[in-house]
Amino acid sequence: MERVAQVIRVRPERIDEYRALHRDVPEAVLDTLRRCHIANYSIHLLGDRLFSYFEYHGDDLEADVARMAADEATQEWWKLTDPCQEPVEEAGPDGWWAPMEQVFLME
Residue 10's beta-bridge partner residues? 85
Please report, for the domain that includes residue 24, its CATH number: 3.30.70.1090
Asked whether residue 84 is assigned to any structural domain, the reply reads yes
Rounded to two decimals, what is the model's pTM?
A: 0.91
Distance CA 38, CA 62 (A): 12
**Total of domains in the chain:** 1
- 3-state helix, strand, coil split of the chain in percent (to 5) is 45, 30, 30
**Residue type (1 letter), 7:** V
pLDDT by residue for the chain (107 residues), tens only, comes to 999 999 999 999 999 999 999 999 999 999 999 999 999 999 999 999 999 999 999 999 999 999 999 999 999 999 999 999 999 999 999 899 999 999 999 99
Largest Cα–Cα distance of the chain, in whole Å? 38
Asked whether residue 104 is assigned to any structural domain, the reply reads no
Judge contact between 36 and 67, C-beta under 8 A: yes
Judge contact between 41 and 54, C-beta under 8 A: yes
Residue 41: domain span: 2-99
